[in-house]
Amino acid sequence: MRQAASIPDRAGRCGSRRRVAGWLGLPLAALSCMVLLACQGDHAARSAGLRGTPRGLVLISIDTLRADHLGAYGYERATSPFMDEVAAGGVLFENAVSSAPWTLPAHASIMTGLDPVTHRAVEGNAAISADVTMAAEMFRDAGYATGGFVASWFVSRRYGFDRGFDQFDDFQRTLQNNTREKITATQVIDAAGRWLRAHGDNPFFLFVHLYDAHFNYAPPARHAALFATGYTGPREPYRKYSYYPDHPLPPDLLAQEVALYDAEIHFVDAELRRLHGILEEMGLADDVLVLITSDHGEEFFERGSWGHAHTLFEEVIRVPLIVKGPGIEGGRRWPGQVRQVDILPTLMEAFSLAGPARLPGSSLWPLLTEGRDLQEIEGVKTPSGPRPAFMETSRFDSNLIGVRRDGWKAILNLVDGQEQLFDLSRDPGELHNLAAALPARMREMRAEILLTASILVPDRWLLRWFADGDALLEGRVTTTGDFSSARLRSGDGRITMDADGSGLSYRLEPGSVLEMAVIPVDAVLVVAPPTSAGRDVAIALGRDGDLTPAGGVEADTHQAGLLSGIPTPQAPAAAFWLEQSRGGGARVHLTEDEIRRLESLGYVMR
């Protein structure tokens, strides 16, 4: 066995835990969904003295991998013999929940420990917030070599995923390579293996992202043969989610697509075994932490269509999470719910990394190494049970937010107001919507969702009335999303929210300030021209105070540079500005050719 290189000394930082209490006038039941602020440093200091830090980390994300298509999770097909072996030697989490049902926001949550509404990467034109600390930055600052090898456009440097990596290969020698055809697991593992052989003698962080299980499925023939269905008819390239409800696949073609999906998983599994072989050759296999997960799953017509990103059902938000490494007792399964945002706090404790003191997730490291109950570790229990998972998607025409906890899931559709409530313990397939049958529970979980969203949204839109007398300011504000909160920050007045949550009317006394928060975080806000005593009132924007004479304002967070800072216009005028507790990411501009190619993969709908 090669002698382990010395690990740099590192000290974690501990933030305080707090309970969310009495906000927005919500009832106590609404507070059962608490944003638990993970404390990293106390566990880090304790673990550093009791056990050695792993030599390195291999973080593996398999895009579009459903948990229930792995043997270790009970699947009848032998899709994953190597990953099953890893699970047998480590800890398997039976109920790991994604933050979002598509690639970009889910991976951003893995790498930042933040919910999508906070890291802001919620749409194809939005990069990760520039002031968010990435996992690779923490490892690099702690003295680790860092290498990232990814196979998808939406985990590329275009969105900020390269931050903190000494070497980052997103295989975009040309943009066409990453959108017109897949980068295969063989290509990724080849590149990762070369990096590992060059840097594995030192403490390291290796991130590997594999895209093969994403449509269109084209596994190598020898893997496809293992799951052959006998289908010999034609296949078509994937179209888009909205196409298939009216054009369902024939049963034999659907069975073939599922078989090819399974064959892709088997192919990826074989490539991961090859990567593990490199660790064995280098004498590192028993000294590194290996974490295998996915960003999201896939629907195969359980909801009448094929794909992901559009819903928050179990097929797309329940993901595998398997962890194996030194100090972890193998052969264990954890049935309790864990979350994608728990991954980074776990790594921070395992490697004693300095980083953000407060994150919404919690470290799983004591559970992995000591078998302690998460509730015991956190010392916090919500009124309805521990560890709620918040999830969201605003992809395409959807705008959904939900919470999953204590065997229940509630989903709010912010477009049409539809509510869904499922008892997962009795109805794991989510076939029976209980929202109408159990109105009290639905009210409670709706309040949880809205409270959580209000806490997590990092932006506040503000409108202040600078009057030259005692006349009121009146007007309307609408949004392409939904108002998660609206209140008077100061002064007096009246706010009337529309029933569907997408608009409000206001009457403000002189000097009063209206505060608003919207979801999703990239929603557009439209301030209609306000009036006072029957006359139109100009609006001053941001610290520069530019006036929009007798006109309204249409704005989103991409205009933060224009709208930040408090304007002080000469009365009579209204002032409109944006406060951000976290800065925005760069806007990602796509060419028409890029949009067209992404559309061919189902990533753009026009």
How far, in Å, CA of 172 to CA of 185, rounded? Answer: 15
Cβ atoms within 10 Å, residue 579: 16
Q: What is the pLDDT of residue 377?
A: 52
Structure confidence at residue 579 as a pLDDT band (50, 70, 90): confident
> Which residue, chain included where needed, has tokens 């049958």?
437
How far, in Å, CA of 387 to CA of 375, rounded? Answer: 8
- Cis preceding linkage at 320, omega within 30: no
Identity of the amino acid at 481:
G
Backbone angles phi, psi at 206, to 5 degrees: -115, 125
pLDDT digit string, tens, across residues 338-383: 999 999 999 999 999 998 878 888 899 999 998 766 555 554 443 3
177 or 552, which is more confident? 552
Q: What is the pLDDT of residue 53?
A: 85
Q: How far lies 158's CA from each of 61, 262, 586, in Å?
A: 19, 30, 9
Q: How far lies 182's CA from each of 206, 211, 227, 316, 356, in Å?
A: 21, 7, 21, 21, 35
* 8-state DSSP, 579: E
Is pLDDT above 50 for 275? yes
Q: What is the pLDDT of residue 484?
A: 84
Q: Which has the minimum average pLDDT: 48-52, 424-428, 559-563?
A: 48-52
pLDDT mean across residues, the chain: 83
